[in-house]
Structure 1
C-alpha cells in the first residue's frame, strides 16, 4: 500500500511538467489573486474545506512569501531546504515544520526524490479540534489552552520545528493521512479532519515534552484546579470563592485565567452551564424553568438569551431539533 503511495507521489504533476519544459518562474495565479505582496491565499485551495493536502512542486525555487492560513510541511522522502524568517532550515525525512499565517519563508528547489507534503489548514480548524476531539468541560477547556499555547494567533510570525522521524505514532498518523489524501471516498475528508486532530494532539505532547518548564507546569496545575472548581460548583461558582481557594485576591485570579485561556471566569462558568443544559434537554423532561434553575440561572429570560447567543436557537427549539435526530 505505502509503495503505491510513494509511486504515485513520484509522478510529475502538471505544474512540475511545466517547470521541466522550461517554465522556470512560479505561476502566481495558482496561488494568489494579489498583485503586490506574495501572499498565498487559502481560497485558492480550501474552497469550503478546513484542510487541504497537496504535494509541494519540485524542481523550482519558491520565492519569499507568506500565507493567510496555517501551513505544515512534512518530508515524506528526501529532504527540504528553506529559509524561514531568514533562518536556514533543513528538514529531513519524517520531520515536520508548522508555520503560522504571519511568517515569511522561501524554499529551495526540491530534487526528484524529495517528496514534500504541504498541509493547508484554516485557523478555524483548531476550533473544530476542541469541539470534536474533547469530551467534557475539563478536557475541552484544557485542550483549548494547549492549542492556544501551541498557536499564538496574534500578528507575530512564528514557526514550530518537530524532529519526529523516530516517532512511530506520528509517522503512522502521517501515513494514514496520505492514504486518505489518495482516497476519493465520501468519508475521506472527515477522516482527514480527525486524523489531523490526533496529529495536533501528538505534536502538542511533543512540544510540551521539549519545552516544559516549572512555570508552565504551575500554569497547568492552576487551570486544572480552576476547571475542577467550575465542574463541581458551576451552579453558584464565583470568583471570590475561587480566589479564597488559591489564597489570592480576585484580581490576580481573574487576570491569570484571562491570560491563560483568553476567556473570562464568567465565560468559563457559562460554558459549563450550557453544556449541562444540553444534557438536560436531551435526557430529561424538565421544564425550561427547572433547567434554568438547575444550572444556576434564576432569570429565565436571561437563560434563554445566552443560550440563543451560543447555539442560534432557543432551548425549546434546540430540544425539538434533538428529538428529530433521534
Structure 2
C-alpha cells in the first residue's frame, strides 16, 4: 500500500479523537436522520456517487443497525468482530464480508491497531457487473436478490481469502483509487470491482453464507437470471415451462416480490442494455434497437423517452 494512504488509514479521525476525549456513544446524527439506526448512504456519499470508502471508527461499540446500501467490510490490518443477526464473526486481516441492506449487525470496539475499511455501495452500482457474471454462483444470486426483489431478509457473504494475493492486490488498488481520485477514477473503480468479484466467484470454496432459505425466493432468482440472459427474446411461458410452474403462478410471484410484472422487468433490462450500448459503442440506434430485441423502433423511442426524458440520440450526446 502507498505510504501516504497507509498513513491516512492509521491516523486518528475527528470522530475517533472525540471518543478518546470522552464521547462514549456513537453520534448517530453523523450517520442518519432517521429515528431508527438505519445508516443512510446520502450521509456518507457525495451527490451522484455510487461507491466510496470510509475507515471504520475505532475505540467504540457500534450498536445494532442496518444500512440502505450494500456494505463491504475489509480488514486492512488487525481483526474485526461483528455480531450479525446474533451470530459472532471475527474477520482476520485480508478477509471481507458483503452485507445486504436488510441485515442487522453490531460491531465490537476495534483497537487502535485494527484498521477496517467500509465500502459504501449503492445497489445500482452492481447493475453492470451482472452482465458479465455467470448466472449460477453465490455472488450473482446475492446481488440479484438485493437489486431486483422485494425481499427484506438479511444476507451476508463472508470471504475467508486472506491467503489470496490477487484478491488482496485488487482490494488495495480499489482503496488507492478511491483515495486518489482522478478523471478516470470512476471507470477504473468499476473495472477493479468487477475484477474483484470475478476473483471472489473463483474462490467460492472460501465463503461462508447466510440467508433465509425460501423456495419462492429461488424461483424469483431463476426468473431474474433468465431475464438477464435472454432479455432479447425471453417470455414468461418459456421460463414457466423451464421451472415447471404455471405461468399465472409465476406471474403473481414476480409481481409480489418485485412489485413489477414480468413484461416490465424485461423492458427495464432491454432499456438498461440500450443505455449501455449508447454509452460504450458507436452503433447506429437502429442496430441497438435490433440488438436488444425490439422490432418496432417507434415503440422503443416512445418508452425510452418516457423513462429517461430524452431521445436515444440526446442521451448519447449527453453521456
TM over 0.5: yes
Q: CA deviation at 1:25?
A: 2.1
After superposition, the C-alpha distances for 1:179-230 in whole angstroms (9 at most, x for unaligned) are 1232143433443343223323433444488689xxxxxx999999987776
Could you give the per-residue CA deviations for residues 118-154 of structure 1, whole angstroms, max 9, x where no partner exists? 1111122222544xxx47xx97999976731577762
Specify the structure having the higher radius of gyration (Cα).
Answer: 1
Looking at structure 2, the residues matched to 190 and 311 of structure 1 have their Cα atoms a distance apart, in angstroms, of: 22
Residue equivalent to 1:103: 103
- CA 1:113–1:209: 2 relative to 1, 3 Å: closer
Q: 1:56-205 residue pairs with structure 2 within 5 A?
A: 56-130=56-130, 134=131, 147-148=143-144, 154-205=151-202
What is the CA distance between 1:18 and its match in structure 2? 1.6
Partners of 2:6 and 2:13 lie apart in 1 by 14
The number of residues matched between the two structures is: 303
Is the Cα–Cα contact under 8 Å of residues 146 and 204 in structure 1 kept in the other structure?
A: no
Q: Deviations over 1:8-67 (max 9, x none)?
A: 322111111222222222222212223x32222211111321112011111122222222
Find the residue that maps to 2:199 and give its secondary structure. Answer: helix
CA distance in 2, matches of 1:211, 1:82: 14
RMSD: 4.7
TM-score scaled by length of structure 1: 0.70
What are the within-5 Å matches in structure 2 for residues 1-326 of structure 1? 1-34=1-34, 36-48=35-47, 49-130=49-130, 134=131, 147-148=143-144, 154-207=151-204, 234=233, 251=247, 266=263, 283=283, 297=295, 301-313=298-310, 317-319=311-313, 322=316
CA distance in 2, matches of 1:285, 1:99: 39
Superposition TM-score, scaled by structure 2 size: 0.71
CA–CA separation in structure 1 for the residues paired with 2:276 and 2:190: 25
Segments of structure 2 that go 5 or more residues without pairing to the other structure are 210-219
Unaligned 5+ segments in structure 1 are 213-218
1:215 corresponds to which residue? none
Q: Distance in 2 between matches of 1:75 and 1:277?
A: 36
- Contact 1:74–1:116, Cα closer than 8 Å, also in 2: yes
Question: Take 1:29 and 1:225, find their aligned partners in 2: how far apart are those partners?
Answer: 42
Whole-Å separation in 2 of the counterparts to 1:209 and 1:252? 39
8 A contact 2:100–2:146 mirrored in 1: no
Task: Note closer, same or farther for the CA distance 1:229–1:47 as it changes in structure 2 (3 Å cut).
Answer: closer
Q: 1:209 to 1:150 in 2, by over 3 A?
A: farther
